[in-house]
């Protein structure tokens, strides 16, 4: 062992001696006050501390006054005691004691004792002479441990006494309160008896009502059975109604097919009428060309051409009006019958108002189409009327030659020319037209009606 190793070992021994091992032991085993009853490895706690103190004190004395540096720093025993390394073993023992790991310390005690036995300073006379002193110090340390334990027990006992006194006060307070409550209960006994009688009366009434409730439940069960029977009957009626609805749907489909066929026939007749109308128009044009004068013929031809253009527009708007009318009728039918699924009509103001809102766009479109058709037809009639007037101005004027007053003839010609060249405003044979009175007089004069 060199000087540095010797000093390191002495430092570790001094650190171990400065530790209060009994406090560390008490902290590690707080529930046990007797060190001899604490088993650590093959030793009890008292033996472990005594042997460790003997090992450290004898090695310290040997290092100072005995073999000193001659002692080996490490030694392998080649037996069950293994080997020792004095420097590292004492450093580890100090660390284990600090952390309370007494079990690890116990594993090195036998090897360190065997080291001192091999090197001849474990059982010397000096140690024997000091044995009584060591035993005394051991007893003092054990008594110190017991004293610490007793102090802890005394403190806990005092706490228990204080808790017992507090519990006694609480019990006395509780007894006082309960006595007051007992007094109140005694005073209220008559009231309790009366209340008990009322409760018994209420209980009797409750039993009567329970019987009534049982009767009601029985009646409700009968009613439920009747309702279930009625529900089954209504279910059968609904199935029959469903079958009849299917029949009505089939009939409606047949009616739609028939209506479609009829509409085809109407379209065929309409084509024929259009051909006939074309033929009439052709003849009319020939009559206009043959009966009019040159200027009247040119003017009437212009008006007639414009009337022909307007007629195509009138025909187009007429077809649009018819299509919108059919769509409106079809849409109203689908809304009323819930798209062909409900033919049981029950008028309700909310459904009528809602259906009116749903059909209002088609009504607006229908109104627009009819208005446009009316405007175009009015213009067409205006130009047709102008064409007729342009062709008949001079013939009607010539028929007035036999009338004595030429003023009426001139008025007719002026009014007719004004009507021909005026901007189209509608049908001119209205009662409020400025020339209507004069035209009626002339026509009556020519026809010889004279207001008859």
pLDDT for 191-225, tens place per residue? 878 888 888 888 888 888 888 888 888 888 888 88
3-state secondary structure of 229: helix
pLDDT band at 321 (very low <50, low <70, confident <90, very high): confident
Residues 296 and 390: their CA atoms lie apart, in Å, by: 5
User: Which pLDDT score is estimated for 128?
Assistant: 47
If you ran DSSP here, which 8-state letter would residue 401 be given?
G
Tokens of residue 1, six digits: 């062992």
What's the rounded mean pLDDT across residues 273-291?
70
| CB-neighbour burial class of residue 357 (10 A; exposed 0-12, middle 13-18, buried 19+) | exposed
Q: What percent of the chain has pLDDT over 90?
A: 5
Region of poorest pLDDT, from 105-114, 154-163, 335-344 = 335-344
410 assigned to some structural domain? yes
Last residue of a domain, one of 109, 135, 152: 152
3-state secondary structure of 366: helix
User: Does residue 268 register a pLDDT over 70?
Assistant: yes
Region of poorest pLDDT, from 73-82, 172-181, 325-334, 406-415 = 406-415
pLDDT tens digit string along 6-28?
899 999 999 998 988 888 888 88
User: Does residue 322 register a pLDDT over 80?
Assistant: yes
Number of neighbours of residue 12 by Cβ within 10 angstroms: 21
Residues 15 and 281: their CA atoms lie apart, in Å, by: 140
Count structural domains, the chain.
2
User: Does residue 237 register a pLDDT over 80?
Assistant: yes
178 assigned to some structural domain? no
What's the rounded mean pLDDT across residues 308-336?
79
Residues 73 and 238: their CA atoms lie apart, in Å, by: 112
User: Which pLDDT score is estimated for 298?
Assistant: 55
Higher pLDDT, 155 or 295: 155
Q: How many CA atoms lie within 13 A of 395 on its CB side?
A: 13
Tokens of residue 53, six digits: 């103190």
Tokens of residue 298, six digits: 């040119």
372 assigned to some structural domain? yes
190 assigned to some structural domain? no
User: Does residue 351 register a pLDDT over 50?
Assistant: yes
User: Which pLDDT score is estimated for 34?
Assistant: 76
Q: 174-177: long-range contacts at Cβ-Cβ below 8 A with a sequence spacing of 24 or more?
A: none
pLDDT band at 93 (very low <50, low <70, confident <90, very high): very high
User: Which pLDDT score is estimated for 11?
Assistant: 92
User: Which pLDDT score is estimated for 432?
Assistant: 46
pLDDT band at 133 (very low <50, low <70, confident <90, very high): low
Q: Using an 8 Å Cβ cutoff, are 303 and 416 in contact?
A: no
Residues 321 and 313: their CA atoms lie apart, in Å, by: 12
Residues 409 and 441: their CA atoms lie apart, in Å, by: 11
Tokens of residue 312, six digits: 């195509």
User: Which pLDDT score is estimated for 362?
Assistant: 75
3-state secondary structure of 156: helix
What's the rounded mean pLDDT across residues 69-75?
87
User: Which pLDDT score is estimated for 91?
Assistant: 92
Residues whose CB falls within 8 Å of the CB of residue 238, separated by 6 or more in sequence, listed in order? none
* Pick from 163, 31, 49, 91: nearest CA to 40: 49
Q: Using an 8 Å Cβ cutoff, are 12 and 75 in contact?
A: no
pLDDT band at 328 (very low <50, low <70, confident <90, very high): confident
pLDDT band at 416 (very low <50, low <70, confident <90, very high): low
Instruction: Give 253-310 as a DSSP string.
Output: HHHHHHHHHHHHHHHHHHHHHHHHHHHHHHHHHHHHHHHS-HHHHHHHHHHHHHHHHH
Residues 35 and 145: their CA atoms lie apart, in Å, by: 8
Last residue of a domain, one of 152, 168, 202: 152
378 assigned to some structural domain? yes
What's the rounded mean pLDDT across residues 264-270?
79
Greatest mean pLDDT range, 57-71, 389-403, 415-429? 57-71
User: Which pLDDT score is estimated for 15?
Assistant: 92
User: Which pLDDT score is estimated for 407?
Assistant: 63
57 assigned to some structural domain? yes
Dihedral sign from CA coordinates of 258, 264, 270, 276: negative
Radius of gyration of the chain (CA): 67
Last residue of a domain, one of 152, 184, 199: 152
3-state secondary structure of 158: helix
Beta bridge partners of 402: none
Domain extent, residue 112, equals 3-152
Question: pTM of the full predicted structure?
Answer: 0.32
Number of neighbours of residue 413 by Cβ within 10 angstroms: 15
Please, what's the b/e burial string for 313-325 (b: 16 or more CB within 10 A of its CB; e: otherwise)?
A: bbbebeebbeebe
Q: Using an 8 Å Cβ cutoff, are 38 and 44 in contact?
A: yes
334 assigned to some structural domain? yes
Higher pLDDT, 428 or 263: 263
Number of neighbours of residue 195 by Cβ within 10 angstroms: 11
User: Which pLDDT score is estimated for 125?
Assistant: 46
User: Does residue 444 register a pLDDT over 60?
Assistant: no
Task: Based on DSSP, count helices (H) and strands (E) in the chain, helices before strands.
Answer: 12, 4
User: Which pLDDT score is estimated for 90?
Assistant: 92
Q: How many CA atoms lie within 13 A of 42 on its CB side?
A: 5
State the chain's mean pLDDT as an integer: 76
Residues 216 and 210: their CA atoms lie apart, in Å, by: 10
| CB-neighbour burial class of residue 193 (10 A; exposed 0-12, middle 13-18, buried 19+) | exposed
* Pick from 3, 1, 6: nearest CA to 74: 1
255 assigned to some structural domain? no
């Amino acid at each position: 062992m060199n000087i540095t190793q010797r000093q390191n070992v002495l430092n570790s021994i001094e650190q171990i001696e400065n530790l209060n091992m009994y406090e560390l032991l008490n902290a590690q085993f707080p529930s046990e006050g007797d060190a001899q009853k604490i088993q650590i490895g093959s030793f009890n706690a008292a033996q472990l501390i005594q042997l460790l103190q003997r090992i450290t004190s004898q090695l310290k004395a040997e290092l100072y006054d005995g073999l000193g540096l001659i002692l080996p720093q490490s030694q392998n025993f080649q037996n069950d005691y293994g080997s020792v390394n004095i420097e590292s073993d004492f450093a580890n023992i100090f660390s284990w004691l600090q952390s309370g790991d007494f079990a690890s310390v116990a594993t090195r005690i036998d090897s360190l004792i065997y080291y001192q036995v091999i090197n001849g300073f474990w059982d010397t006379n000096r140690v024997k002479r000091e044995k009584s002193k060591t035993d005394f110090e051991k007893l003092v340390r054990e008594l110190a441990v017991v004293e610490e334990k007793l102090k802890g027990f005394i403190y806990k006992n005092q706490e228990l006494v204080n808790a017992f006194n507090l519990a006694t006060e609480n019990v006395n307070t509780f007894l006082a309160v309960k006595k007051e409550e007992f007094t109140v209960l005694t005073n209220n006994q008559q009231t309790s008896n009366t209340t008990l009688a009322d409760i018994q009366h209420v209980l009797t009434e409750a039993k009567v009502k329970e019987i009534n409730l049982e009767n009601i439940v029985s009646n409700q069960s009968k009613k439920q059975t009747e309702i279930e029977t009625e529900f089954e009957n209504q279910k059968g009626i609904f199935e029959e109604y469903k079958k009849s609805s299917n029949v009505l749907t089939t009939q409606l489909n047949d009616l739609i097919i028939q209506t479609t066929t009829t509409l085809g026939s109407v379209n065929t007749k309409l084509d024929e009428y259009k051909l006939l109308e074309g033929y009439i128009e052709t003849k009319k044009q020939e009559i206009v060309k043959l009966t009019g004068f040159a200027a009247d013929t040119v003017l009437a031809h212009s008006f007639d051409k414009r009337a022909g253009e307007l007629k195509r527009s009138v025909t187009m708007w007429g077809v649009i009006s018819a299509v919108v009318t059919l769509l409106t009728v079809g849409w109203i039918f689908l809304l009323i019958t819930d798209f062909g699924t409900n033919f049981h009509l029950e008028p309700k103001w909310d459904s009528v108002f809602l259906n009116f809102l749903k059909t209002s766009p088609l009504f607006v479109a229908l109104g627009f189409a009819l208005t446009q058709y009316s405007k175009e037809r009015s213009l067409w009639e205006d130009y047709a009327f102008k064409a007729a007037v342009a062709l008949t101005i001079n013939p009607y004027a010539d028929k007035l030659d036999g009338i004595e007053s030429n003023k009426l003839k001139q008025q007719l010609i002026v009014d007719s020319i004004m009507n021909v060249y005026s901007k189209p405003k509608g049908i001119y044979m209205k009662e409020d037209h400025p020339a209507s009175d004069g035209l009626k007089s002339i026509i009556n004069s020519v026809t010889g009606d004279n207001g008859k």
